[in-house]
Amino acid sequence: MNTTAPAPETGTKASEELKAVPITVAYGDGIGPEIMAATLSILKAGGARLDIETVEIGEAVYERGITAGIEPSAWDSLRRTKVFLKAPITTPQGGGFKSLNVTVRKTLGLFANIRPCPSYAPFVATKHAGMDVIIVRENEEDLYAGIEHRQTEDVYQTLKLISRPGSERLIRYAFEHARRYGRHKVTCFTKDNIMKLTDGLFHQVFDEVAAEYPDLESEHWIVDIGAAKLADTPEAFDVIVLPNLYGDILSDVAAQIAGSVGLAGSANIGADLAMFEAIHGSAPRRAGQDLANPSGLFLGAVQMLVHIGQSDVATRVHNAWLRTLEDGIHTYDIFDAERSKEKVGTKAFAEAVIARLGQEPEQLPAVHYAGQRPPIQIELTPKPRSTKVRVGIDVFVDWTQDVESLGALLEANSGDDLSLVMISNRGQKVYPGGAPETFCVDHWRCRFQALDRGSLVEMSSILDLIARLDAAGLPFIKSEGLFTFDGQPGFSLGQGQ
């Protein structure tokens, strides 16, 4: 494990150290209340100076008809304390309810999700004894925009949004975090061989930021082979920075192959606020039985203690926890007859950690968090705005007949100033000159550009075009503007174009 930070820094005022720090706590659903009680009991015994405000979130709030799963008063508490220790909640199945986690992360601008996944071999079973990966997941963008539409009988759509500032602040955070915690390499995973604009932007920003950190190694992998390599040889990775969806999936993979998803904590960091939690859910089947492993939430809480400047307590409780694992005191999820000594429940596990306060592990590396350091602050690089020119429009229509008749209708209505460049179906060009084998559904993207390709297209021409298509009986779904930015196309070409 390399969570070891440099030796404690001096200069912290004793009076500041002793002040209780206000935090907001939510006990959540399922196993949440049990693992939160266990976590807080260790923190308290370890000397954490916390002034706790408790808020209600999750099932009970959803049942009161609040679709976000969080009371308005809870937001006031979060804005006041700026620190949230949150147990997992149960998201009701079915329409109408929003994921509380996504809502909190996005509302409060918690852009970076830090998920350390070290192995604890030989004390917790893993195939990857040397693994010590930190996943830094983008938390606000990508497919988690949740902008979805059904557009035709056959086709549903979700929007994947990636922004330059969103990518830059996350990637800078990953490099700053790597530097602060003595890491040597930052790896980026994207699928920019396919999503050349969205994932391409993330990769480009990664390269730009990496150039400013010559002391750190940097590399990029296409996510499919990168994920395979991570699952097979996680020892080859150090810090991995990823867009939201890949990060969501691969942080669970990383935590599970390190030992168990029940062992991973996570920090959700924003410019002003931060939220700390386990990466697992509310495991309702295990609720109320004093069985669950509190370690994921506990390790989230350790990150919280470092964040609020109580590194002394973080060091003490984390080392006691490591010693407990080492002593073979294990909850059912990591219990293994060969290496464990005692199978314990949630409460007994917490008591075992408390009994070891003041001790350090003997074989696993002990942690030593540095003293109070200001949270990492990210400055974005100012960038001049590009010259943006509209050069055409993609019109999406709902059509159940053959493509040749669609093409003829569109050509007949393209007008004097626009021409039909192509029609594609699910991204594959099918007109003009499509392949007869291409399977088509009822969702067609029809690209129009100026007769003099690349020159400006006035908005009035586009509105006239859409009116003509509507009058010709073509069911309009939506349109997407085609723009150039400083002369570079801001749109993908259709496959086969």
- Where along the sequence are the contacts to ligand NAD (CB under 6 A)? 31, 35, 88-91, 101, 261-262, 277, 280-286, 292-293, 296, 333
Nearer Cβ to ligand NAD, position 284 or 481?
Answer: 284
Give least dist CB 280 to ligand NAD, A.
3
On the 0-12 / 13-18 / 19+ scale of CB atoms within 10 A, 285 is exposed
Nearer Cβ to ligand NAD, position 4 or 103?
Answer: 103
Angle subtended by helix axes 244-258 and 223-232, to nearest 10: 10
| DSSP code, position 496 | T
- The alpha carbon of residue 209 and the mean position of all alpha carbons in its chain are separated, in whole angstroms, by 19
| E strand residue ranges, 292-348 | 329-330, 342-343
Give least dist CB 468 to ligand NAD, A.
47
Backbone φ and ψ for 197, nearest 5 degrees, come out as -85, -50
Separation between Cα atoms, residue 443 and residue 437, nearest integer Å:
17
Backbone φ and ψ for 221, nearest 5 degrees, come out as -125, 145
Give least dist CB 326 to ligand NAD, A.
19
- The alpha carbon of residue 30 and the mean position of all alpha carbons in its chain are separated, in whole angstroms, by 23
Residue nearest ligand NAD, Cβ-based: 281
Give the closest residue to 240 by CA, choosing from 190, 201, 188.
Answer: 188
Give least dist CB 1 to ligand NAD, A.
20
Give least dist CB 137 to ligand NAD, A.
13
Give least dist CB 127 to ligand NAD, A.
19
Separation between Cα atoms, residue 373 and residue 368, nearest integer Å:
14
Give least dist CB 97 to ligand NAD, A.
10
Nearer Cβ to ligand NAD, position 279 or 469?
Answer: 279
Give least dist CB 113 to ligand NAD, A.
11
Nearer Cβ to ligand NAD, position 69 or 494?
Answer: 69
Contact 262, 280 (CB under 8 A): yes
Nearer Cβ to ligand NAD, position 99 or 419?
Answer: 99
Nearer Cβ to ligand NAD, position 58 or 407?
Answer: 58
Nearer Cβ to ligand NAD, position 137 or 172?
Answer: 137
Contact 485, 388 (CB under 8 A): yes
Structural element, H or E, at residue 404: helix 403-412
| Rg for the chain, CA atoms, rounded | 26
What the block records as the tokens of 460 is 């009035």
Separation between Cα atoms, residue 219 and residue 210, nearest integer Å:
9
Nearer Cβ to ligand NAD, position 109 or 284?
Answer: 284
Give least dist CB 308 to ligand NAD, A.
21
Structural element, H or E, at residue 7: none
Nearer Cβ to ligand NAD, position 35 or 391?
Answer: 35
Return the exposure string of 123-160: e unless at least 16 CB atoms fall within 10 Å of the residue's CB, then b: bbbbebeebbbbbbbbbbbbbbbeeeeeebeebeeeeb
